[in-house]
Structure 1
Amino acid sequence: MGTHLSDTTRFQDERWLKRFYFTRAAFSAVWVALAFTIGQHLTAIGVALLIAYPVWDALANYVDMSRSGGMRGNFTQAFNVFASAAIAIAVTVVLHVNTSSVLDVFGVWAVLSGLLQLATAVRRRRRFGAQWAMILSGAQSALAGAFFIAQARASMPPAIVKVASYAGVGAIYFLVSALWLSAGQLRRRFASTP
């Protein structure tokens, strides 16, 4: 009975995580489309998008953390919630004071959130498997953040274009993770069917 209950709970948690990853992929895809189509041309919308992205990340991590056992069991996500919220505030301030520093702020955030995502994925791998894309995503995010910081003063496209490219890659990782979890569920379903 205990094993069946834990299998059922695991299946429900895995199904929720799959939907969560699909939602994150969809949000990022829409955000990227808006950033490339209108965000880089209309300053006010670009500013709103740059602020909205870390706000969304904070909210998404909060929901995931709450659904996955709360703050005590998910320290990396709890810290990511606070870091993303702080970055949203920092982006707001920087965009009103010195717009050339916005890529620095996103770089710091990408490094920090990438490392936290990597740690969360490694922890989840024990329970769910199918976290290799999230592990790669976290590592890639940290590297991208370092490049953002290195390129912050270079002559290049607007910051929103760089951040949108970064977000687009993140959307792909979330989509791959959701699809991988879906494939695992299908494999188990067919294996248990007589």
Structure 2
Amino acid sequence: MSTQTPTSSVRGSADERSSLLRLYLARGVLAVAWALAFAVSHEEIDATAIALLVSYPLIDAVSSLIDYLATPEGSERRITAFNGAVSTLAVIAVGIAGAGGEAPVLHVFGAWAVISGAAQVIVGIRRRGPELGKQWPTLISGGLSFVVGIFYNIQAAGGNSSLDVLPVYATGGGVWFIAQALLLGWKSRQLRTRTA
């Protein structure tokens, strides 16, 4: 992902749609790539697995920073900043939890999934105008993240921890981000056709 310049303050402008499309597509592709890499390298929590575990919330933290810079002033920008801060804390917490085994890692991922999922739903609601594609994939992804995060914490507390669930989680999130990017691309083409 590359850094973005702030977009126009006009809600749903072509620049904003284009920035969000690139961001969602990059996040989606990176999430799926991460899922593939982690699926083949996490049989034990070694240095490689911990590096991958740390990198996933780091992707979200960087994405939130890019989104923050590209979003006009408003409450949605503050939520994006909050999510970026939470994801940065998750990077540190996952790194520390990795030394304790699967259960602490799953607890951290679960807590992070709940908070970031809730933030994603709020941002999706605020971007639900027709110009930004109604945001259904974002809302579904955030809602699922929230629910799955609760499940992860229950699973970790019950002594049945397994990190095998994380590639599925990342793949699902990636697919929803890619779907949102495709929806934004379709909406952009529609709007260009109407104004042509």
TM-score, length basis structure 1: 0.87
What is the SS of the residue equivalent to 1:117? helix
- Structure 2 residue identity aligned to 1:139: G
Residue in 2 that maps onto 1:110: 113
- Structure 2 residue identity aligned to 1:82: A
Residue deviations 1:101-155, cap 9 Å, x none?
1101110000000000100111111362331110111111000000101111343
Residue in 1 that maps onto 2:61: 58
Structure 1 residue 172 corresponds to structure 2 residue 172? no
Compared with structure 1, are the counterparts of its residues 125 and 71 closer, same or farther at alpha carbon in structure 2 (3 Å cutoff)?
closer
Compared with structure 1, are the counterparts of its residues 6 and 38 closer, same or farther at alpha carbon in structure 2 (3 Å cutoff)?
closer
Structure 1 residue 141 corresponds to structure 2 residue 145? yes
Higher helix proportion, which one? 1
Q: How far off its partner does 1:51 sit? A: 0.7
Residue in 1 that maps onto 2:95: 92
The correspondence for 1:13, drawn from 16, 20, 29, is 16
Q: How far off its partner does 1:99 sit? A: 4.0
- Structure 2 residue identity aligned to 1:14: R
2:133, 2:187 within 8 Å by CA — same for their partners in 1? Answer: no
Residue in 1 that maps onto 2:72: 69
2:12, 2:132 within 8 Å by CA — same for their partners in 1? Answer: no
Residue deviations 1:148-188, cap 9 Å, x none?
011113435x31x2111111100011011000111111222
Compared with structure 1, are the counterparts of its residues 118 and 93 closer, same or farther at alpha carbon in structure 2 (3 Å cutoff)?
same
Q: Distance in 1 between matches of 2:38 and 2:62?
A: 20
2:133, 2:183 within 8 Å by CA — same for their partners in 1? Answer: no
Once superposed, what is the RMSD of the aligned Cα atoms? 2.3
Q: Structure 2: which 5+ runs fail to align?
A: 1-7
What is the SS of the residue equivalent to 1:155? coil
Compared with structure 1, are the counterparts of its residues 37 and 22 closer, same or farther at alpha carbon in structure 2 (3 Å cutoff)?
same
User: How many pairs were matched up?
Assistant: 187
What is the SS of the residue equivalent to 1:125? coil
- Structure 1 residue identity aligned to 2:98: L
Q: Structure 1: which 5+ runs fail to align?
A: none
Structure 1 residue 30 corresponds to structure 2 residue 30? no
1:71, 1:78 within 8 Å by CA — same for their partners in 2? Answer: no
Q: How far off its partner does 1:8 sit? A: 10
